[in-house]
């Protein structure tokens, strides 16, 4: 593909991601109320959320491998069709059992990692971090649109209509994928193609785990998990914190979520690209971890939602840089034919946090209170920052 066609495919990918995130956040305005009406208490609703995390934790690496083997169009098509089934089942869910069943297609729902693979494959290496950062902008747009649309549709037409609307929207995304995303976005050399030919199995665990043996990958991946864990736990518990600690009503919480989305859009759209073009990725990684440590200290000292609104800006800033830079470094550390598998592994980190987060977060909240989240984030990221600073740039990932 020439540069113009590559850019067009990237823009279409951004649109597909915006739509997917929109339907996802639309669902967030349906499920809690439907679960409460079906008799779920807080514990069982936590089990429901953990179920999604487990499914996506299992599906992430397999989906990434599937994308590498069968190409971008097939991978994104599977995700979009899984979303159609997911929302269709939600529309007909009339019992606790059906509400759990409707989560099953989540194992295949990985439009964001699929979009990251397309962007990573088609963008120039030096511009990859900026291109991946723009997906964060898409996330912010989808977050605001989906939250607003979901509340409006549910209130005026009911939850079943809203879920059906999301199912139709997911099918529109599938049509966009089928008509505008190339079958294959990767550039294979002859030697690479011959090398990959014997191992075409999607469920080949060795092909997935071997990526950890590339120079620097294990180190960066470990940093991604350890440094991201405290923030992930706080995010998982935020709905409880907003209700019990900040004493927010549903409408106020909606405004706060919209504020998150706007801050995220500004950072991802206007800041990340400028930073990645001026500073080395390793320096930005250190900066994001150091800033996250300070944010944790501020969280431990906050007492009200107004203080939190100020903390959100550096929190989103550090989190955005951290996620974009680690994803960029990891995809650059493997060959182009393995970027999908690597991004699938990266997506599994978030799924892992959603799986263990409710259990750890619930224990910390009940035992030590909200300040414990900030103190753990401060201590963990300070330790990671010190270790990375001591080792310098050694063992940084590089393309083989």
- Distance CA(134)–CA(138), nearest Å, equals 6
Of 113, 111, 120, the residue nearest 186 (C-alpha) = 120
Q: CA 269, 274, 279: angle at the middle one, nearest 5? A: 140
Pair 326, 285: CB distance under 8 Å: yes
The residue among 242, 257, 256, 234 whose CA lies nearest residue 358 is 234
CA distance 393 to 283: 9
Task: Identify the pLDDT of residue 400.
Answer: 45
Q: Sign of the CA dihedral 302, 306, 309, 310?
A: negative
pLDDT of residue 251: 62
Contacts with 9 (C-beta within 8 Å, 6 or more apart), sequence order: 1, 118, 122, 180, 181, 182, 185
pLDDT reported for residue 89: 92
- CA torsion through residues 189, 195, 198, 199, sign: negative
3-182+208-391 folds as Growth Hormone; Chain: A; (1.20.1250)
The residues, any chain, with a CB within 8 Å of residue 167's CB and separated by 6 or more, are 83, 84, 86, 87, 88, 91
pLDDT score for 194? 43
Could you tell me the residue ranges of all domains in the chain? 3-182+208-391
pLDDT score of 195: 47
| The pLDDT of residue 193 | 43
Q: At what angle do helices 72-92 and 42-70 cross, to 10 degrees?
A: 160
Q: What was the pLDDT predicted at 318?
A: 92
What is the separation of C-alpha 148 from the centre of its chain, rounded to a whole number of angstroms? 20
Q: What burial class does residue 389 get, using C-beta atoms within 10 Å of its C-beta: 0-12 exposed, 13-18 middle, 19+ buried?
A: exposed
Question: Residue 136 corresponds to which tokens in the numbers above?
Answer: 């964060």
- pLDDT tens digit at each of 400 positions of the chain: 678 888 899 899 999 999 999 998 888 777 777 777 888 766 677 677 778 878 888 888 788 788 888 888 898 999 999 999 999 999 888 888 888 898 899 888 888 888 888 888 888 777 777 787 788 788 888 888 887 787 778 778 888 888 899 999 999 999 999 999 888 877 654 444 444 444 555 555 666 667 777 777 888 888 888 988 888 888 877 877 877 788 877 567 767 877 887 888 888 777 887 888 888 888 999 999 999 999 999 999 998 889 999 999 999 899 888 988 888 888 787 777 777 777 777 777 777 777 777 778 878 888 888 899 999 999 999 999 999 888 865 445 444 4
Phi, psi (degrees; rounded to nearest 5) at 370: -60, -40
d(CA 137, CA 142): 9
* Cα-to-chain-centroid distance, residue 233: 14
């Amino acid at each position: 593909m020439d540069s113009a066609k590559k850019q067009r495919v990237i823009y279409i990918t951004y649109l597909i991601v915006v739509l997917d995130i929109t339907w996802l956040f639309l669902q967030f305005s349906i499920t809690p109320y439907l679960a409460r009406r079906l008799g779920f208490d807080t514990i069982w609703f936590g089990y429901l959320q953990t179920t999604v995390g487990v499914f996506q934790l299992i599906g992430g690496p397999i989906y990434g491998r599937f994308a590498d083997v069968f190409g971008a169009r097939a991978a994104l098509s599977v995700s979009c069709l899984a979303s159609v089934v997911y929302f269709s089942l939600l529309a007909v869910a009339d019992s606790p059992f059906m509400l759990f069943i409707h989560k099953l297609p989540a194992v295949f729902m990985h439009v964001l990692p699929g979009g990251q693979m397309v962007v990573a494959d088609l963008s120039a290496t030096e511009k990859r971090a900026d291109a991946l950062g723009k997906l964060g902008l898409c996330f912010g747009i989808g977050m605001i649109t989906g939250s607003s649309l979901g509340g409006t549709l549910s209130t005026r037409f009911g939850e079943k209509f809203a879920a059906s609307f999301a199912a139709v929207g997911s099918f529109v995304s599938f049509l966009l994928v089928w008509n505008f995303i190339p079958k294959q976005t990767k550039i294979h050399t002859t030697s690479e193609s011959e090398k990959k030919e014997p191992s075409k199995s999607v469920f080949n665990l060795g092909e997935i785990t071997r990526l950890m043996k590339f120079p620097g990958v294990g180190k960066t991946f470990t940093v991604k998990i350890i440094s991201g864990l405290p923030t992930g736990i706080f995010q998982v518990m935020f709905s409880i914190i907003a209700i019990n600690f900040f004493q927010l009503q549903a409408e106020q919480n909606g405004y706060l979520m919209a504020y998150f989305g706007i801050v995220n859009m500004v950072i991802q759209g206007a800041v990340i690209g400028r930073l990645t073009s001026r500073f080395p990725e390793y320096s930005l990684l250190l900066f994001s971890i150091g800033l996250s440590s300070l944010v944790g200290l501020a969280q431990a000292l906050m007492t009200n939602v107004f203080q939190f609104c100020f903390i959100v800006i550096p929190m989103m800033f550090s989190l955005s840089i951290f996620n974009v830079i680690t994803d960029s470094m990891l995809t650059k550390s493997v060959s182009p034919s393995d970027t999908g598998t690597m991004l699938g592994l990266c997506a599994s980190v978030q799924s892992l946090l959603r799986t263990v987060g409710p259990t750890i977060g619930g224990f910390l909240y009940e035992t030590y209170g909200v300040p414990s989240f900030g103190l753990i984030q401060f201590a963990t990221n300070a330790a990671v920052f010190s270790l990375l600073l001591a080792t310098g740039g050694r063992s940084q990932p590089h393309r083989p």
